[in-house]
């Protein structure tokens, strides 16, 4: 992956290139993005650039031995860690990322803009929540204790550090803070506020900006409106807000039942992400920025109506409630209780 292959985020690309060219490579880097905005692609291009022996014009050559193996995601000094769980696609009872590397490579090479649910579908763990267990930390420590195969950097690319528990993070803290010579960690997160503070504070943090429609068209990324669950989420959110606007508590509670009936925890958390984005659109419409909100034409009348009727503090009050709902789902709190509370708070704060 070369920087030239990645549309958008030109300033961040320049920053990454400058760090590599100056030799001021941080021991721990965190890229945070909305799902599917290219942080993984940027991380891969950055690792390839660092180890390239023929850099030119702010990009890797794509032809040297290091670039060739990195382009196939088989560089011996680059390690990939991502959330996993028991799956029908492996006989290992407690699998690690290493157990799924072939599937990971195939997914990344076909579309580095994939989202969390895409990964779980590919791994065969639909309906389960992926985790980064302490065994992954032990695996990393073991790999970093070995001498590098090449002359470049060892890189640990950890996708979704928010999936680490406290035990895993504690195991990694010392090596993240003081890694071996010419070793770097790159974390990619969709929820920086859920990354353990002890990890977050040890990283240089950079925001990966969302893609414009034009930029997205140049990638394999699928827009939110094109994803199959979008219509289902929109129908639930529309019914919820229509009940809220009509002050019809029964319709609001029926909407809560529809949320809890979504057929997997990941889908339920996906709805929370959708709802937070929908509230952001309401906020922008309230402030006369509907064009910035990037709302499909068919949904503009709905968002216009909600934004005109919503109270001034509605958006600011409800976003933390949605975030808390997603956090409670992650902690296996009963989904009916979570969504009943969310729907009730929407009703009360409107």
Q: Note whether 79 and 206 are same-domain residues.
A: yes
pLDDT of amino acid 75: 95
pLDDT of amino acid 246: 94
Q: Note whether 54 and 101 are same-domain residues.
A: yes
Answer whether residue 224 shows pLDDT above 60: no
Q: Note whether 205 and 235 are same-domain residues.
A: no
- Going 109 to 110 to 111 to 114, the CA torsion angle's sign is negative
Answer whether residue 146 shows pLDDT above 80: yes
pLDDT of amino acid 225: 53
Structure tokens at 247: 């002050």
Q: Where are the alpha helices (DSSP H) in the chain?
A: 10-22, 39-51, 65-71, 101-110, 116-123, 134-144, 166-177, 197-200, 213-216, 230-245, 249-260, 265-286, 300-309, 314-330, 335-349
- Going 312 to 313 to 318 to 323, the CA torsion angle's sign is positive
Angstrom distance (rounded) from CA 60 to CA 7 = 16
pLDDT of amino acid 212: 79
Which of helix, strand or coil describes residue 90? coil
Total residues found in the chain within this entry? 350
pLDDT of amino acid 90: 83
Q: What are phi and psi of 318, to 5 degrees?
A: -90, -25
The residues near 106 (Cβ < 8 Å, ≥ 6 apart) are 122
- Helix 230-245 to helix 265-286 angle, to the nearest 10 degrees? 60
- As a whole number, mean pLDDT of residues 226-235 equals 81
Mean pLDDT estimate for the chain: 90
pLDDT of amino acid 227: 65
Angstrom distance (rounded) from CA 332 to CA 265 = 9
- Going 274 to 317 to 213 to 30, the CA torsion angle's sign is negative
Q: Note whether 19 and 73 are same-domain residues.
A: yes
Q: Of 37, 23, 64, nearest to 209 (Cα)? A: 37
Q: Model-level pTM greater than 0.85? A: no
Q: Note whether 277 and 210 are same-domain residues.
A: no
- As a whole number, mean pLDDT of residues 248-253 equals 94
For 87, the domain range is 3-221
pLDDT of amino acid 172: 92
What's the pLDDT tens digit per position in 9-42? 999 999 999 999 998 899 999 999 988 889 999 9
What's the pLDDT tens digit per position in 38-89? 999 999 999 999 999 999 999 999 999 999 999 999 999 999 999 999 888 8
Choose one of 221, 238, 263: the last residue of a domain.
221
Angstrom distance (rounded) from CA 31 to CA 29 = 7
Q: Note whether 61 and 181 are same-domain residues.
A: yes
pLDDT of amino acid 100: 93
Answer whether residue 218 shows pLDDT above 80: no
Answer whether residue 166 shows pLDDT above 70: yes
Q: Note whether 100 and 135 are same-domain residues.
A: yes
Angstrom distance (rounded) from CA 303 to CA 298 = 10
Q: CATH code at 185?
A: 3.40.50.300
Choose one of 170, 200, 221: the last residue of a domain.
221
pLDDT of amino acid 221: 58
Query: Apex CA 327: angle with CA 312 and CA 169, to 5°?
Result: 130
Q: Of 253, 221, 233, nearest to 339 (Cα)? A: 253
User: Considering the chain, what percentage of its residues have pLDDT values greater than 90?
Assistant: 63
pLDDT of amino acid 161: 94
Q: Are 29 and 184 in contact (CB under 8 A)?
A: yes
Q: Note whether 195 and 247 are same-domain residues.
A: no
What's the pLDDT tens digit per position in 107-142? 999 999 988 888 988 998 866 778 999 999 999 999
Which of helix, strand or coil describes residue 56? strand
Using DSSP bridges, classify how beta strands 183-189 and 204-207 pair: parallel, antiparallel or unpaired: unpaired
Q: Are 189 and 82 in contact (CB under 8 A)?
A: no
Q: Note whether 77 and 184 are same-domain residues.
A: yes
Angstrom distance (rounded) from CA 114 to CA 98 = 19
Q: Note whether 197 and 237 are same-domain residues.
A: no
- In the chain, how many domains are there? 2
Q: Of 202, 204, 130, 131, nearest to 172 (Cα)? A: 202
Answer whether residue 258 shows pLDDT above 80: yes
Q: Note whether 149 and 7 are same-domain residues.
A: yes
pLDDT of amino acid 222: 54
For residues 251 and 210, the model is more confident at: 251
Q: Note whether 87 and 140 are same-domain residues.
A: yes
Choose one of 197, 221, 245: the last residue of a domain.
221
Structure tokens at 124: 């065969």
Q: Are 189 and 219 in contact (CB under 8 A)?
A: no
């Amino acid at each position: 992956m070369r920087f030239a292959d990645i549309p958008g985020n030109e300033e961040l690309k320049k920053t990454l290139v400058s760090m590599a060219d100056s030799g001021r490579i941080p021991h721990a880097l965190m890229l945070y993005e909305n799902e599917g905005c290219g942080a993984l692609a940027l991380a891969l291009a950055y690792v390839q650039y660092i180890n390239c022996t023929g850099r030119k014009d702010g990009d890797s050559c794509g032809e040297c031995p290091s670039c060739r193996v990195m382009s196939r995601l088989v560089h011996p000094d680059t390690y990939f860690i991502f959330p996993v769980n028991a799956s029908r696609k492996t006989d290992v009872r407690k699998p690690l990322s290493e157990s799924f590397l072939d599937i990971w490579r195939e997914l990344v090479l076909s579309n580095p803009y994939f989202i969390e649910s895409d990964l779980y579908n590919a791994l065969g763990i639909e309906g389960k929540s992926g985790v980064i267990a302490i065994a992954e930390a032990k695996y990393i420590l073991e790999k970093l204790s070995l001498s590098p195969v090449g002359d470049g950097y060892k890189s640990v690319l950890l996708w979704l550090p928010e999936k680490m528990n406290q035990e895993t993070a504690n195991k990694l803290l010392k090596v993240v803070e003081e890694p071996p010579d010419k070793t770097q960690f790159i974390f990619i997160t969709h929820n920086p506020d859920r990354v353990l503070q002890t990890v977050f504070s040890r990283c240089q943090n950079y925001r990966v900006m969302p893609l414009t429609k034009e930029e997205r068209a140049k990638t394999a990324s699928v827009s939110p409106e094109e994803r199959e669950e979008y219509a289902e989420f929109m129908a639930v959110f529309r019914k919820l807000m229509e009940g809220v606007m009509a002050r019809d508590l029964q319709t609001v509670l029926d909407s809560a039942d529809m949320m809890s009936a979504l057929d997997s925890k990941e889908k339920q958390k996906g709805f929370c992400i959708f709802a937070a984005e929908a509230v952001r659109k309401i906020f922008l419409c309230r402030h006369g920025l509907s064009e910035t909100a990037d709302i499909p034409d068919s949904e503009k009348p709905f968002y216009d109506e909600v934004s005109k009727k919503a109270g001034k503090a509605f958006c600011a009050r409800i976003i933390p409630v949605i975030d808390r709902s997603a956090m409670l789902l992650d902690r296996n709190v009963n989904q009916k209780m979570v969504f009943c509370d969310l729907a009730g708070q929407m009703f009360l704060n409107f």
